[in-house]
Every structure is written in structure tokens, then in C-alpha cells.
A and B are shown apart, each in its own frame.
Chain A
Amino acid sequence: MSETTAPVPLLELDKVNTFYGPVQVHFDLSLTVPKGEIVSLLGGNASGKSTTMKIILGLLKPQSGTVRFAGEDIGALQTPQIIRRGIGSVPEARRLFPDMSVRENLLMGAFTRTDKQAVAHDLDWVLTLFPKLGQRLAQRAGTLSGGEQQMVAMARALMGRPKLICMDEPTMGLSPLFVDRVLELIAAINREGVTIFMVEQNASLALQIAHRGYVLQTGRIVLEGKAADLLVDARIRDAYLGGAEAA
């Protein structure tokens, strides 16, 4: 555990202000995702979590503020260019291509890559991380169960060999059994050297695997710190854990 050295930031949001028409969603939102860590953005409904994801991926442009990835200002880039810089996305509700096979879905994850042989190699690598998908390669993605789809979504994001994967509520709508499995997989992906930024509503779960956490409330960061500290923080326990047992 490196307590003293300042980690290298891979992703930085600096004083971002976002609007939907006249409605302001983010108020001077600033956060940092250090390289190699799992950072979790927590918050309830309508706190601006998913919008943060859209800002990072360039699906929505902020009114002001900067978004830096690996030191580069990506605020003006279009989504495809941002993906090419090395960001993978696991969208909310998974969003697989339902009429494509699992294999095709995975290869779509490598869409921006031109190194065919390395892609083939990475397909094998991803299948070792998600061995269950190996039997499903030819199946239409739309016919998989929710948990399996979540795996495909994560594997698909990995296929781009990203430096950072953004996950939008990866445990949403999954059975409790699968939730733990998905969290394990996220930790496993992180151990492979991929930085992870995940948006979650379920704070206690997210903080179990995260290194750091931010708490977003109606567009403002109200709390931030090490996951271990946040888990025992009285404020977050009251606000987000509903007084439930923290791990």
C-alpha cells in the first residue's frame, strides 16, 4: 500500500460544469483516477453519476471545465477518438449488440484496433478471464442471461486493451449471486493492470473492491477518500448504506 507517494493520475476531471438545457447537472466537479486503481463514484438517483460517464466518454460535452486522460485534454475529442486513446466502456444496462454472436460482440470491443494477431491473442486471454464465455461464443448475445451479458460487456471492453475501463453500474439488475461474481471479476481485471472507474449506486459493494471513492450528491462531490475510510465514515453510512452493516 503506497501511503505517501502521490499516484499518477490517469484520468482527471477539473471543475466540470454540465447542463441539460437550463438544468445544471455538475457543479465544479473535480475528480482524479490514479493509474492502476479502482475508483468508485457513488451517489443516489439523479446525482449526476451517469452523466459523469457520458462526459468522460465524450457522449456529452461540459459547458466548462477540463477532462484529461493520460495528461491529454480530451474535452474536444469525439467519442471514437477518445476510445482510441485507450478508454473502454461497460455501458449502463450492458448494451450488447443483441443480434450479434458473443464472439462478434467481443471483437466489436476491439473495433479500433488494427493489430489482428494481437486481437486474436487477446480473445484467448479474455476467455481465460471469463472461461464461461468460451462455451457461448456462437450464441446470440441477446439470448444470454443478465449476468452472462455483464460478463460479455466487461470482456468486450477489455478487448480494446484499454488503459482505463469506465463501468456504469455494473451490478445493476443482477442476482445477488452474480453481483459478487462480477465484483470479483472487476478486481481480477484490475489486477491485470487495467485502471477502473466505476459508477455505482450500491456503495457498500463498490467500496469493497475500490481503492478510492467519491460521493456525488446533486452534482457536487460531497465526500472523497480511501475506500476503507469511506466504508466506516458515519456520513456515508447514514446516507448511502442505510445503516446497514459495512464490510
Chain B
Amino acid sequence: MTSWLDHTINGLIVGNIYALLAVGLALIFGVSRLINFAHGSVYVVGAYIGWVAVAHLHTPLPVTILLVAAGSALLGLLIERFGLRPLQGSTKIAPLLATIGISFVLDQIVQIVFTPDPRALPSQLPDWRFQIGGGTIGALDILIAAIGFTSAVLLFGFLRFTKLGWAVRATAQDRDAARQMGVDVDQVNRIVFAIASALGGLSGLLVGMYYNYIDPAMSFQATLKGVVAEVVGGVGNIPGAIVGSLILGLVESYGIALLGTSYRNLFAFILLVVILVLRPNGLFASKRQLPPEPLTGTFIAPSKPVPLPTPALLAALAVAAVLPLVIAQPYLLQTLTNAWLYALLGISLTLIAGTVGQISLGHAALLAIGGYTSALLTLDLGVPVGLSILAAGFVAAGLGTLLAWPAFRLRGHYVTIATLAIGEIVSLAILNWESLTRGPIGVFGIPPISLFGYPIESARAVYWFTLAILAVLAALQLRLLRSHLGRAWRAVRDDDVAARSYGIALDRYKALAFITGGFAAGISGGVTSHLYSFINHETFNAQLSILALTIVILGGMGNVFGAIVGSVLLIGLPEVFRVAAEYRVLIYGLVLLLLIRFRPQGLFGTV
């Protein structure tokens, strides 16, 4: 067994790597009030630049480091120029969503260019370790510590003693005032993106060397870790980000020592949620805190929804209902069935993110809860399938609301981060709670759908079954939106302070939204599990959450019919055109980016 000192060293080294990420995130947040979800992609690109340099160009280490820093900085500049600058002046959440889209696109490009297979990234350093106390330190540990320390010192010097550094600080403290002093804030933005990305890329290189392993999928985790560290230290606070990173590294290292590797991320996200709930401004926030985020944390582009009279909706439903009589190919029906299931997720998210303005990035967790509930009820308790799906809806509604509860007191960006973390926690709980969920192996042999003993197995029957559920829940949601409840939800979204001063209990209405939305998503997950007959902790992953958000934005936030059409387009079209799976995610990312840029109100307008 390795010593505690070893775990401490390991924690600090990993913390150092996180610090390189978190400092960049803090810099970017400082000058542009943006949580850059594409940061992990820069980190991956940095790692792959390093891999190309080491494995193909055989560059010496200093050259590799320079190449990685320069390449990543360039990527940062491109992201700033083409992804974010065009969005200046739009609502705050728009650039955040754009960085999500950018990260989808970048990760997918890396995956297409380098294949999803992992690569070894040898460190080129001598393989010696020396003893100190009860632990050992290797050359790579020292290199990582040195790079972390040097970067921190250079950054400090830059911010404190150079004119540009002053401009960065001034911009971070008051962007408008900085402009009025003659600071070119666009240039500041570029500089900050370049520096942050160089550090992020270096972090990717060092991680690759540390574990001698890189793969494209590490992007998302890296973003999350950086965000956790940044939030722990207080968003935008650079020294805080460094300390937060070291704390995160240590928490993870000790946690793994106690419980095992598969718990690593669980600690990170629980730490995040605890900090968000107890000290949303971070551990080191000064008494004079950042002003609260503007209320417009939502992505509601002002627009008139496209009018959709009830007869037209009924006609659309009728067409959808008779489609199986016309279409013979089961493949097409299966695709549409899939679209209906995503549409259930879509109407759920469009309610929570669109109508109530709580941009949730953990929505796949509701599917997972529903899926596991229905699967385990039928397999372990012998509950009939129809009943189990209904139960899946209720459990997802209840448990989902309970889990989202900590996020209710948060606003804007913080809701997004918190729900993302909660979603990850659910996925990790499924992975680790083996006695209930069967752990990483997943759940096999989930029985097919049946209702009152009648099997629903043909493509046609399943199609009608899901369409019927969707129609009922969508109609219910439309009815709710027109009621007093719907008005209260929109009031919470548009101005929560005003809503509260008119006597709307925010928590209660947010809970009602999560209950309503959780039910639809849970049903969708439940049905899905019976259709797949196998699920595991990765079936309902974070990518699904982001796909759901893209569906919702495509249709128009809060727009029930829009969510359904959005789902048909995003799920159905790539299927019909037989787009290869790896290009699909690329398409989703691009669709998200183009929508945010050119049609933020979606196809059918926000409601």
C-alpha cells in the first residue's frame, strides 16, 4: 500500500494540472464573464499536438512544450474570433452555449482525425524517482510542479507589471470603464484567450504524460474538473483557482485512496455541489462580492412564437398516427419512435430551460433514473412493464426534483454548472452502487414492452405506444402553460426578484417544473430501457443532455411543438440520410452553433 505522503504528492501534482486549466477558465471568466466549456477541447488538442510532436516529429521536450503552447494559443484565438466575438451583446448564456457547441465540434474533429482509440504519450523524461519521507517523487512530478509554478509566476508578473496585464485586470473589474480609459477590450479578450488556451493545452500535454494515455473523450472531464476547481476558488479569482485546484487534487487523491478509482469524479462533483450551495462565490470570496449575475440568465430571444392553431396540431398528430399504415419499412418507424422518445425529453427540457429559464445540462440523468427504475422494477421485483414505466415517470419526477433542489437557489450560469454536476453524480452513483444497479456491467435482459399482458413488440405497435404517450404529455404541458401555473413559471424566468415580490414561491414553482418535466423524461427513459433491453451508466450520458438542449433551442425555447419537431429533425434526419455516427455529433455541434448565432429564437419561436 502506498503511503499517505504519496497520495498527498499525487494530489498536489494532479492539482497542479487542474490549476493550469482552472487559471485559464478564471482569466476568461474575469474578462468576459463566460464559463468556457470549450476549454477541455483545447486541452485535448494540446495533448494531441504533444502526441504528434513526440511520436511523429520526435521533438525534444522544450520544443514539444513550445509547440503545444503555441498551437493551443492559436486555437484559443480562433475560438474567440469565430465562436464568441460575433455573439458580443447577446444574452450571457448564448456564448456559454456556443462554447458547448464549439467543444462538440472540436472533440469530434479530434476523434475523426485521430480515431477514438487511446494513445500513449511517453514523457521523454528519465524514469528515476527519489525517496522523501515515506513517498517518492519522479522527474515528471517535478516537471509538472515546475511548469505550474513558472506559469503562476509569469502570470502574476504579467498581470502586475505589464501594461497589457493592467488592461486585463482593469477589463476584468469594469469592462466599460476600461474602454473609457482607452483599453482595447477586444484585444484583451484575445490575449486572455491565447494565454488561457496555452495553459490549457499544456495541462493536456502534462496529463497525457502523467498517465501515459490520451484519448478524445477526456475533454469533457477536463472541462468539468477545471470548472469545479474554479468554482471552489471563486469564479474569476485566479489565486483562488490555483488553491481550488490543489484542494480538488487532494480530495480526489485521498478519496481514491479510501474508496477506489471509480469514485474519483464523484468527489469532484459532490465538492462542486456543496460549494455551490454553501458558498456560491467560492471559498475565498471577499466580503465585497461580485454583483449577482444579471437576471437574464436565460436564452430567451425575444420573438413571437409561430402561431399554431389547435386544428393544425391535431392534423399533425393525425398524420403521425396514420403514418405506420402508409410506411412499410420498420426502420423508418423505429427512427420516428426514437424521435418521439427524444421529444419526450425535449418537452421536459423545454419546460425547465425554456419556460422556467433553468438551463439544465444534466437532463440525461432523468432518463437514466427512469430507465433504471423501470428496468430494475421489472427484473428484480417482477412489476409488469406498463406499470414499471409509469413508476419510472414518478420516480424520475420525485428523485430528479430532489436532486435538483440544491440548484434551485442558484441562478444563471450556476444553475447550468450545478445541474451538469448533479447529472454526473447520478451517472457515477449508478456506476458505483453495484448492489442496486449492477455497476459497470449494466442491466441485461430487460423485458420488451407490454401493456396489460399484451406484448407491444412490432415496430408499428411501439410507434403508436410512444406517440400516444407523447401526445398525452404534450397536450398536458400545453394546457399547463396556459394556466396560472404557466404564467407563474414564465414570471420566474423573466424576473425572479419581481416574481418573488409578487408572492411566487420560487422553490415551489421550480419544483413543480422539475416534477412535470421529470415525469416526461422518466417515462422516456423507461420506454427506452425496454426497447434497448440493455442499459448501463453510459447509455444516458452528458452528450444526451446537450443534444436535448440543442433540440430545445432548435424548436424554440419553451415551445412544446418546437421541441417535438426539433427532435424529429435532429434524430430523424441524420438517420434517414444514414450519417455515420461520428459525424452526427459534429452536426449537432454545428447546428447548435449556427442556431445561437443566426436564429436564437429557434424554428418556431420562444414562448
Contact = CB atoms under 8 A, between A and B. Distances in A.
Interface in B134-177: 163, 166-167, 169-170, 173-174, 176-177
Contact of B176 (A59, A78, A107, A108): A59
Given A59-B176, A95-B176, A97-B174, A80 B169 contact: no
B183 A111 contact: yes
Contact of A111 (B173, B176, B182, B288): B182
Top 6 closest pairs, chain A to chain B, by CB: A83-B182, A112-B182, A95-B177, A89-B180, A97-B173, A80-B182
13 contacts: A79-B179, A80-B179, A95-B177, A96-B174, A97-B177, A97-B178, A98-B288, A100-B170, A100-B173, A104-B166, A111-B167, A111-B182, A160-B181
Given A111-B182, A111-B183, A100 B169 contact: yes
Contacts of A156: 181
A57 B176 CA distance: 11
A142 interface: yes
Nearest to A90: B180
A160 B182 contact: yes
Interface in A83-132: 83-84, 89, 91, 95-100, 104, 107-109, 111-112
A142 B174 CA distance: 12
A80 B183 contact: yes
Contacts of B173: 97-100
A107 B166 contact: yes
Size class of the B contact interface (CB-based, 8 Å): 10 to 19
Size class of the A contact interface (CB-based, 8 Å): 20 to 34
B184 interface: yes
Most buried by B among A83, A95, A104: A95
A156 B178 CA distance: 12
Contacts of A89: 180-181
A160 B182 CA distance: 9
A77 to B, nearest CB: 11
Most buried by A among B163, B177, B178: B177
Contacts of B174: 95-98
A109 B169 contact: no
A99 B169 CA distance: 9
Contacts of A108: 166, 170, 178, 181
Nearest to B163: A111
B167 to A, nearest CB: 7
Contacts of B288: 98, 142
Most buried by A among B163, B170, B182: B182
B395 to A, nearest CB: 47
A59 B184 CA distance: 12
A96 B180 CA distance: 11
